[in-house]
Structure 1
Amino acid sequence: MTTVKRFKPLSCAVLLGAALFTGALTAPAAYAAEPQMNAASTSTAALRTITVTGYGEVVVQPDIAYVQLGLHTTGKTAREAQEKNAKQFKAIHSALEKLNIPAADIQTVRFVTMPDYSWENNKQELKGYQVEQIVQVKYRNLAGISQLIDAATAAGANRIENVSFSSEKIEEYRMDAMDAALDNARLKAERMAKRAGVKIKETVQITDGIAPAPPVYLYNLPRTGSMSDAAKEESSESRVYPGELKVGISVIVTYSY
């Protein structure tokens, strides 16, 4: 036997109320979406920008030199090579002290002991050992760099790695270069804006493209072979020139218009 359930028909008032209630939910949602689209459109329109790279550079005189020099010795055993190196290096250190170089301005940058091989009868044979000791000397008397090199060489140094020049006020010079870079960026942006028929309004973003100024290497001697005879002959004629330092910085700036 099948049971049939009967439902009372809803009145028109109930149906109308449901329709109105549904409309109250959907209409504001649709209405709310429209301002978001307008805001996005307005935001996109506001992103009217010009991005440029500015570069600034200052040229200064170096006020400090870094001299890398040292000694290479050999021996039949590692101990013999090291003892020979230590003995000869005392004379070099004494020569540096006579130039009134403080101990704090002398720093060991390399000390290596290694076997010394040779090829004989198509095979490798151990000849002995070699020791290399290199120190970096911080020197502020730029006019006396040549004398420093000659004095170290006369004391037995047979390695002059290089001489680099820098400044102890390098950060101050970098700030000056940054000011010049910002001025350069503004000049570029204004030139571009004028050409495009618009006007710069304000700075939106600045990115620091700072790069450390490389040291200037102006003196470089071979790493191998003794310099004692040749250096003594040429020491009176050798010259080291500090030259100039160029400290440069770049910036990336975005302006609105």
Structure 2
Amino acid sequence: MKNIPTVRTLSCALLLGMSIISGWVPAAYAQTSVQSSEVVAPAALRTITVTGHGEVTVQPDIAYIQLGLYTTGKTAREAQEKNAQQFKTIHNALIRLQIAEKDIQTVRFSTMPEYTWENNKQQFKGYQVEQIVQIKYRNLEKIGQVMDTAVAIGANRIENVWFSSEKIEEHKLAAMDKAMDNARLKAERIAKHAGVKIKDIVQITDNITPQPIPMYRQSVVADYSAQEKSNASSQVYPGELKIESTVTATYSY
């Protein structure tokens, strides 16, 4: 009878050992282990998004003049030959005004039938040819002289005159700098009123801006017959160019 506790002890030890090997542990001997699987999400980034605007005003240094010739003929060939002959005279006059060949570019050339409306019927009249060239001119003080000379030797179309700058990209970057400064100023002002401080810039978008629109642009239409009688010359005024830039910027705070 005295050996019974010893036998029981050995039996329990043997049972425990076998249970551990098989992976089963009696509740009396099991130890509870708790591991936390909770993932703490990062705090949401707090941001301020603003749109900044910048513009620069500059004096134009180049002009674009569109002028040309409209001719008619009974046949398309006749109208084209007449146009070519008269336009050669115009072209030579432009060269004499020290306009380089590379600065004279044809922007429109068309040949089409011409009709009139008579007795409630459409009547074929012949053909018309129109040729328009674009001239790049840098001596802005003599633009009127260029137009007057062209008209005097046969040009009967002066369509547009507008101004730009050969440093346009440089002016665009200056406008962009101002837009960025404006965006920063707006963000700081908003943050100040909200009682916070801006930290880093997280995103910048350069909004697509159309080509600078000249503050002066007009379609030139003049009564040259009256002008010749008065000996007056055409006057064209360059005005100023306004170049704009817009950016959207997001700042963290």
TM-score interval, normalised by the smaller of the two chains: 0.7 to 0.9
What are structure 2's unaligned runs of at least 5 residues?
1-14
Secondary structure class of the residue paired with 2:220: coil
Q: Using the alignment, how far apart are the partners of 1:111 and 1:164 within structure 2? A: 21
Give me the TM-score of the superposition, normalised by structure 2: 0.83
For residues 234 and 145 of structure 1, what CA distance do their matches in structure 2 show?
A: 19
1:255 aligns with 2:251: yes
CA distance in 2, matches of 1:175, 1:156: 42
- Tell me which residue corresponds to 1:220: 219
Query: Contact conserved, 1:56 with 1:181, CA < 8 A, in 2?
Result: yes
Q: Are 2:190 and 1:167 aligned?
A: no
Q: Which residue of 1 aligns with 2:116?
A: 118
Equivalent-residue separation in structure 2 for 1:50 and 1:150 (angstroms): 57
User: Does 1:77 pair with 2:75?
Assistant: yes
Question: Conserved in 1, the CA contact under 8 Å of 2:215 and 2:242?
Answer: no
How far did residue 221 of structure 1 move? Answer: 2.9
CA distance in 1 between counterparts of 2:112 and 2:26 reads 94
Q: How far, CA to CA, are the matches of 1:79 and 1:237 in structure 2?
A: 35
Take 1:129 and 1:165, find their aligned partners in 2: how far apart are those partners? 34
How many Å separate the matches in 2 of 1:86 and 1:196? 71
Q: Among 59, 64, 67, which residue is 1:66 paired with?
A: 64
Alignment partner, residue 232 of structure 1: 228
Match of residue 185 from structure 1? 183
Q: Which one-letter code corresponds to 1:135 in the other structure?
A: V
Q: RMSD of aligned C-alpha atoms?
A: 2.4
Q: How much does 1:228 deviate?
A: 4.9
* Residue among 234, 240, 243 paired with 1:244: 240
Residues 214 and 240 in structure 2, CA contact (< 8 A), matched pair in contact too: no
Q: 1:235 to 1:183 in 2, by over 3 A?
A: farther
Task: Classify 1:233/1:206 alpha carbon distance in 2 versus 1 (closer, same or farther; 3 Å).
Answer: farther
List alignment gaps of at least 5 residues for structure 1.
1-10
| Cα distance change of structure 1 residues 188 and 53 upon mapping to structure 2, 3 Å threshold | same
Contact kept? 1:56, 1:177, Cα under 8 Å: yes
Cα distance change of structure 1 residues 70 and 196 upon mapping to structure 2, 3 Å threshold: same
Deviations 1:93-114 (A, max 9, x none): 1110110111110000000000
> In terms of Rg, which structure is larger?
2
Task: Say if 1:57 and 1:181, in contact at 8 Å, map to a contact too.
Answer: yes
In 1, the alpha carbon distance for the partners of 2:204 and 2:148 equals: 49
Q: Give the direction of change, closer, same or farther, for the CA distance of 1:164–1:248 in structure 2 (3 Å limit).
A: same
> Identity over aligned residues, as a percent?
63
Closer/same/farther in 2, CA of residues 167 and 122 from structure 1, 3 Å limit: same
